[in-house]
Structure formats: C-alpha cells, structure tokens
Structure 1
Amino acid sequence: MASAAVATDANQTEQEHHDSLQAHFQPNISADEIEQVFHLKRAQPLLQVFTALFHGGFDGVLVRLLVLRELASDAATSAYTRADINTKLAYLLPESLETVLLRLRSNQLLAWDAQQGVYRVTPMARNVLSAIDSLLGLGQTEDEAEMGFLLSQVAGAQAVGGVSVEQLQHLLGRLVDLTEEFSDAIASGSEFRLRTAQAKWNMACDWVEKGSEILVAITSDENADSATHKAAQAIGRAQSKLLNMQGMFSRALNQIERQRVHLGQSGLSTTDIKRWLLLHDDLASLAEGAIDQPVVPLFSTPAEMIDVAETELLSERAAGVINTGLPSGEDAPTTISDGPAMQLELDDLLDRLSNFASLGNFPSIGEEGPKSVPVQDSLLPASFAVASYRASMLPLLGDVSEASLQGSTAELARLPITFTPTDEMVQLTDPHVAAMSIASLSLNVSLDLDSGTADE
C-alpha cells in the first residue's frame, strides 16, 4: 500500500509538471512533440542539480559552490563526517552550513551514508564542478574571441569519441558572430575600432589553427553521422571566411592612413591626439587653468541662418553695382485730387445753412428774413443716405469745443443757428424719407446784432 501511495504521488507530480509546461505552448501543440523538449526532459536530473546550485541570489549561490568545491577539492579522502565538515568549514555559521548541506544532500550533490555516518561527493557533483571550473579557468585567460571553452569542449568530446552536433553548432555560431562583428568594424571606418577588431581577429585565428586538426579528425571519422559531417564542413567554411578577412583589414587601414590629417609641421596627427586623450580619464581636468570664463555655446537656428545668408547675398549684389551717385532731381507731377463725396455734401450743407443765417448781413435782414425754419427744409430734397448724413451734422451747431478748431465742421459749429429737436414725428411726402422727427433751426438774432454792432 505504501508503494502504491508513493507511485500515485509520483504520477500526480509528473502530471502537474506536464500541465505547467504545457501552459507555455500553443493550445494545438503538445510540448512532448518538440524535439528539444525531449532532450531537456531526458537531462532532468542534471538540470535539477544546476537549479539547486544556482537558484536564488548570488550570495546563496556563492556559499553553495564554496561548500561543494571545498569538499570536492580534498582528494585524500572521499568520505567526510559531520565533524570533519565543521572543522573544514569552520569559517561559516553553523546555521548556514546546515542549510547548505541539506540543500546539496536533497538534490543528489552530496550522498549520506547512514551506515558509516559520512557524507560523500556524488559523481554528478564532480562532473558539474569540472564543467564550472573549466569555464571559470578559461574566463580568466585573455580570450577576447571567447572561443576557447567551445573549442575545448569539441576537442574533449572528440578525444573520447563523443562529439555532438550541438557542440559543433555552438562553435559555428560563435564563428558567424565574430565574422559579423569584424565586418561591422571594417564598415565603420573607425581606426581605433578597426585595430581593436584586428587584435581580436588575430586571437580568433590562433584558435582556428588549433581547431583545424580537430575538424580534420571529425571529417575523416567514418563512424560520424551525416549531421556531424555537415556541421564540421560548415565550421570549415566559416573559418575560411574568417581567415580571408585579413585583406579587408589591410585595405581599410591603408585607406585610413591615406586620409589621416597631420597638424602642421609638428608630425602629430589626429590619431595621436585621440590616443593621448584616451589616456586621460577626466578630460575636463585638462581645461583647469586654461579657461578663465565658462565657454558659452552659440547655436544657429534656421531663422538666423536665413538672415545671414540674405545679408551676404544682398551685400554681394550691392558690391557689383557701379556707384554713379544720386540721380538728378525731377519735379513731381501736378495732380488734381477730387474731394470725397462726404466732403462735398458737408460743403453743400454749410452753404445751405450759411444762406439761411445770411452771414455778415445780420442787421439788414433782422426783420425781413425768417427767424426759424423746420429742419426738413434744410435737409430735403435729398436721398435717404444724404439726408441722414446732413441730420447727423446738425448737433454740431453751437458746439464750443468744435468751433475752436479749423475746417468745415468748425465753420458749421460757428454758425449763429440753434438746432432744437423734439421726440415727435411728422409725416412727409418726400419719395426717399417717409417721416422725420419734428425739429427746427433758429437764427440767434441777439448774437447777430451784437456781432454787427461790434463790427461797426
């Protein structure tokens, strides 16, 4: 019954894992149909070991690797009691050490021998540490091409007769990446980028020479399958393409050498100045003591650029014109300007009212002439627009402020006439004006007589 319960739990765990994995794929695609999924599932125990080591923060990963490397580095013995472990790792806290040992033991990195009461490093743990140490060791060397680890994996697998297509494809992918990187450096036209890429290319060529013998062995192996042969041949073509880039580097550098700018007779070039500037971490410190005031940048917007261009263009045109002096003077043509229509109407109204007032002859008509007339007699006959204009000018009669000015309206204001309007209307038989407010124009007799006496 216990065995059946354990089997049931295992089946449930497997089913839950499959369901969670299937959630990442399209509904109409099964995860088990993917070839790479099959290979990864087959390596599940090894992948779980890496998960146990590298899951979590960096500090936790570092402590786990530290404990495992310390235990695996002692080749004198293969078994460790808990006392031995406590002595060997006395610099760790007991709680942290207990947590790490429990994690390594539960993930088959450490094996617990209950009969003898000792811990043993498992073969899988040694394989994992060997791979990590190889990667760390190659990472500390000056391998800017980053081909050493990949090539060592291929060489090791070939030595034991177990090279895989995946390992060859990783090496091929790195060669393709390097070729594209060098091509971009050549296309950039930057001397410094070209020289950096060329140094990296030289190192990559050293690895290519070391790997050529391995590729020959792979292609001549009769037991290798067709996929391995194709991958090895593709690597050979990629290496040839990489080696052929020597001429491209040389041509690009020669082109830059021809275009290099030298500063006068000093023998210095722009490359020398840039190389010298790159030696300084803080370029701003070079200006200390050399500049008294901060540099004020000047920016030219399109508007200012157009103004400057226009000024330069006009100055060139003016320079090409022969200076003949000012032209001789000429009399301006005589023209007769007709007055506006409203001014003519104002003059006509002024004549009408002046005749009514008999300007300059007040005593002679003091008793004979009319003293008051209806306003429509002075406004009509006329069109509606002209009559309206004449009516709008009548309030100026007797206006003191207007009379002190000059012009036709001032003459109108100085006439001895009083305009008296009312609120009632009178019907008219005029064809243009049907009705008009009742108003009158009165002659200021007393003012006229006084003026006449003063004149006498």
Structure 2
Amino acid sequence: MDAQDALHPDSLQAHFQPHVAVDEIEQVFHLKRAQPLLQVFTALFHGGFDSVLVRLLVLRELATDTSSTAFSRADINTRLAYLLPESLETVLMRLRTNQLLAWDAQQGVYRVTPMARNVLSALDGLLGLGQQEDEDAGMGFLLSQVAGAQAVGGVTVEQLQHLLGRLTDLTEEFRDAIASGSEFRLRESQEKWHTACDWVEKGSEILRAITSDENADAATQRAAQAIGRAQSSLLNMQGMFSRALNQIERQRVHLGQSGLSTTDIKRWLLAHSDLASLAEDAIEQPVKPLFITPAEMIDVAETELLTERVASAVGGLPSGENAPLTMDEGHPMQRELDDWLTRLSDFATLNNFPSIADESPRDIKVHEALLPASFAVASYRASMLPLLGDEGEASLQGATADLARLPLQFAPTDMMVQLDDMEVAAMSLASLSLFAPPPPSPDSTESGKEEN
C-alpha cells in the first residue's frame, strides 16, 4: 500500500494508528481472505431495511423453488408478479452483479449460486431460532454451528470461543440476578437457566467428541475444555438460586390474615398495563396541588414566629421558684490533684524552707514521691511532674498553676528502676529536688542601708 492510499480517508490504513501495519494483524488477514463472502453480505444488507427486505424476498423465492434450477425472466416475472417491474429489475441487477444470481447468456436463464444458498441457509437457521419464545435461542444457534462443523470435521476455535463467550455472559447474568435479591428477576432467570441447562446437556456429547478427537489441535482442545468448565459453573448455580429464593421466602411479608403477600400484590399490579386506570372512581375529588414561592414561605414563617412570641408574652413572667439544691462532691481527678499538690507542698516547705536543716533531704526519688498508689493514680501524678517550673503555666490560675510555682525541680533520666510494688513493676529513675531562691546581691544590700 503506497503513501497516497494510506492518506485517503476511505482506505483501511486510515482507521489504524500510523505506526501499525494493517497486513500484520492476523484478524485483518482472515477477513480480507473472506472478502468475496463479505461482499455478498454487503450487497444484501446495504441500504435501508425496506430495500434489504425486498432483496431477501426475491432471493428466497427463487432459492426455495426446487422444481427447477434455472429461471427465465418470464418465470421470475410470473413468480414475483406482486412486485413492480422497475423494482424487480433493480434487485435482479444487484443480485447478479454481486454473484448471488448467475446469468446464463446462452440459455437466457438465471441460476441461484452456491454462495447464495449458503448465505440463505445460515440466515434461515438464525431466523428460525430467533422466532422461538425463549430468549436464549442464540445459544442454540451457536451450538448448532459447532455441531454441524464437528460433524463434517471442520470445527474452528472461533466457533468454540463464540459459544464460550455466550456461556460466560449467561453466568454473569444469573449472578447479577441472584445478587439483586428481586424475586421476579430470580424466577425469570431460573427459567432461563433451565433452558440453558438443556442446551448444555445437548452440547456435552459434542464437547466429548472434540476432546477425544486426536486430530484436533491444542487451541481447539483448550477452547473445548474451557467450555466444559463454563458449563460446570453454570450447572452449579442451581444451589445459589435455591438459597436466594429460600431467603426471600423467609422474608416475605403477609397482609394480615388474608393470606396475600407483597409478591401477590406486585404480580397483580404487573398484570395491569395501565395502573392509572385503577384510580378511576376511587378518589371522589381530584388532588389539587398547591404551589408556594419562597417569599410566601418566609412571610408565613415570620407570622407564625411573631404569633408565638406574642402568645408567650401575654401571660406575663412566671412566678419565681427556689433553685434545686445539689451536692457537688467534686471530680475524682480534681481531688487527686489537690492531694498531690498538698503532698508536694509539704515536701517543699520542709523545716520552713529555705532554712533547711542539715539532716533534711534536699532531693527525693520520684518513685518514693509517687508511691504508694494505684497504677492509674501513679500515672496521673507522673503526668503532672513536667509542669514543675513551667513559667507559662505558673502565670495562670488554678491548681496546676500552683503546682508549677512550687520550688521543686524535676530531673528525669533514661534508666529504669525495678520496684517492689503491687501496682507498678518498674519506673524511670528520676528525682525531685528543692532549690532555694538566689541570695540577695551585696549591692542591693548596701543600697537598702543607704536608703534607711
């Protein structure tokens, strides 16, 4: 293919990416090889539905006449006398041009070509199955194609893949119906499942013949095995349908003692094509809808609000009542904080601090200050220790501010100390120490004496 054909908008290459060569695609090769047959379908089905119908009508009328294989123009005019001569001439010309009718110039007769009979046979098989009541007739058509091809030894992987795709579609459809929880959809799908199982039973023998055929290639064997697995998955859905329907049966709602259920009512409603007709003569007066604008809604709301306020003000103020007495025992954690603050304050004012006796300890281990106590109380006390000496907290009011203003210094370490306690097994080694305010400087003392 040259560059000019590739740039033409109607060329095949114009539909593909520039870096893709059309002839390198396998499916394109197979379709190109079937070009004569595809052109026959194009000749039949190109144009509007009415034109297609007339072409098929003429070709079927001639092909179904088995009394003769050749038709003169007079025979055709007699057999198709219900068509206009101009329309009949146009159809015959199109069928003859596309090798659906062969013209024998020596004898002056038309003959139906073998390709035309093959096309009509395929269409008749599809149309015959399409006229059946069950919606899964397409599976029967695919299975018949596989059976026919197997009978003559020409089954292809593509035919098996079409059948496998249909089985997969049915399985997904049934799973969606089960997941929907709709009783009507479940029962409809269950009926369709029974029909599909009939086709599966008929196709099992065909699959066994394909898998046992020694001349079948590996691709055909794999496709047949995949169809067998899909059929098994389809057959195993009977239990899923039964469980879903039993669940719906347990949840069915009955209307009083009438014996009717919501399913019966829905089935009765579905039997009426015009539900609106059920309301005739059932309502004495028709419903009159009232429409209101947002502005009117605001006016009504404001009127109702003012009316309620005026009604509440007419009665005057209510008489006074004594407030109920309540006993505030205090929060447990607040009491614990107060006790902890008292304990640390006693340590800070030991021997009238800052005059500390020599025998008085200047520091104490944290675990000796926190214990004895329960684990919760000891943890709460330990969480308060970082507040000691916090200037920001000391500038506030409250118990934690009093704790921050104590002359104590908290010095933690990275080591742990094992404890002989029932609540706390180990604790970080830390200490609490007293620190005295800095002594006054000599300059400040002398300046004080001069002022005196």
TM-score by length of 2: 0.63
Deviation per CA, 1:401-429: give whole Å up to 9, x if none.
xxxxxxxxxxxxxxxxxxxxxxxxxxxxx
What residue is the counterpart of 1:312 in the other structure? none
1:104 aligns with 2:95: yes
Query: What amino acid sits opposite 1:326 in the alignment?
Result: S
Q: How far apart in 2 are the matches of 1:36 and 1:189?
A: 42
Deviation per CA, 1:155-201: give whole Å up to 9, x if none.
00001000000000000000000000000000000000000000000
**Contact 1:144-1:203 at 8 Å conserved across structures:** no
Compared CA separation, residues 209 and 84, structure 1 to 2 (3 A)? same
Q: How far apart in 2 are the matches of 1:328 and 1:252?
A: 65
After TM superposition, give the deviation of residue 298 of structure 1 in Å: 9.8
Query: What amino acid sits opposite 1:115 in the alignment?
Result: Q
Gaps of 5+ in 1: 1-10, 308-324, 330-456
What residue is the counterpart of 2:236 in the other structure? 244
What residue is the counterpart of 2:19 in the other structure? 28
**Contact 2:7-2:14 at 8 Å conserved across structures:** no
After TM superposition, give the deviation of residue 328 of structure 1 in Å: 6.5
After TM superposition, give the deviation of residue 17 of structure 1 in Å: 9.2
What residue is the counterpart of 1:162 in the other structure? 154
Counterpart among 296, 309, 319 of residue 326 in structure 1? 319
- What stretches of structure 1 move > 2 A for 4+ residues in a row? 13-19, 293-299, 325-329
What residue is the counterpart of 2:404 in the other structure? none
Deviation per CA, 1:219-258: give whole Å up to 9, x if none.
0000000000000000000000000000000000000000
Deviates more, 1:73-82 or 1:134-143: 134-143
Residues 393-412 of structure 1 mapped to structure 2, 5 A cutoff: none
What residue is the counterpart of 1:143 in the other structure? 134
Q: How far apart in 2 are the matches of 1:105 and 1:245?
A: 52
Quote the sequence identity (%): 82
What residue is the counterpart of 1:288 in the other structure? 280
Counterpart among 101, 105, 122 of residue 114 in structure 1? 105
Q: How far apart in 2 are the matches of 1:72 and 1:228?
A: 35
What residue is the counterpart of 1:198 in the other structure? 190
Compared CA separation, residues 327 and 14, structure 1 to 2 (3 A)? closer
Deviation per CA, 1:198-230: give whole Å up to 9, x if none.
000010000000000000000000000000000
Counterpart among 29, 33, 38 of residue 42 in structure 1? 33
Larger Rg: 1
Query: What amino acid sits opposite 1:225 in the alignment?
Result: D
After TM superposition, give the deviation of residue 141 of structure 1 in Å: 1.4
Query: What amino acid sits opposite 2:25 in the alignment?
Result: I
Aligned length: 297
After TM superposition, give the deviation of residue 14 of structure 1 in Å: 9.6
Deviation per CA, 1:351-403: give whole Å up to 9, x if none.
xxxxxxxxxxxxxxxxxxxxxxxxxxxxxxxxxxxxxxxxxxxxxxxxxxxxx
What residue is the counterpart of 2:399 in the other structure? none
Q: How far apart in 2 are the matches of 1:17 and 1:126?
A: 36
Q: How far apart in 1 are the matches of 2:181 and 2:288?
A: 32
After TM superposition, give the deviation of residue 58 of structure 1 in Å: 0.3
Compared CA separation, residues 117 and 328, structure 1 to 2 (3 A)? closer
What residue is the counterpart of 1:132 in the other structure? 123
After TM superposition, give the deviation of residue 18 of structure 1 in Å: 11
Q: How far apart in 2 are the matches of 1:68 and 1:18?
A: 34
Counterpart among 62, 75, 78 of residue 71 in structure 1? 62
Q: How far apart in 2 are the matches of 1:229 and 1:39?
A: 21
Q: How far apart in 2 are the matches of 1:269 and 1:212?
A: 41
What residue is the counterpart of 2:334 in the other structure? none
1:258 aligns with 2:257: no
After TM superposition, give the deviation of residue 144 of structure 1 in Å: 1.9
Q: How far apart in 1 are the matches of 2:171 and 2:63?
A: 40
Compared CA separation, residues 19 and 53, structure 1 to 2 (3 A)? closer
Q: How far apart in 1 are the matches of 2:187 and 2:289?
A: 34
Gaps of 5+ in 2: 292-296, 302-317, 323-452
**Contact 2:63-2:117 at 8 Å conserved across structures:** yes
After TM superposition, give the deviation of residue 292 of structure 1 in Å: 1.7
What residue is the counterpart of 2:78 in the other structure? 87
After TM superposition, give the deviation of residue 294 of structure 1 in Å: 3.1
Q: How far apart in 2 are the matches of 1:22 and 1:283?
A: 56
Deviation per CA, 1:143-163: give whole Å up to 9, x if none.
322311000000000010000
RMSD between aligned residues: 2.6
Query: What amino acid sits opposite 1:253 in the alignment?
Result: L
Query: What amino acid sits opposite 1:41 in the alignment?
Result: K
Q: How far apart in 1 are the matches of 2:9 and 2:219?
A: 31
Q: How far apart in 1 are the matches of 2:175 and 2:287?
A: 40
Compared CA separation, residues 37 and 328, structure 1 to 2 (3 A)? closer
After TM superposition, give the deviation of residue 59 of structure 1 in Å: 0.3
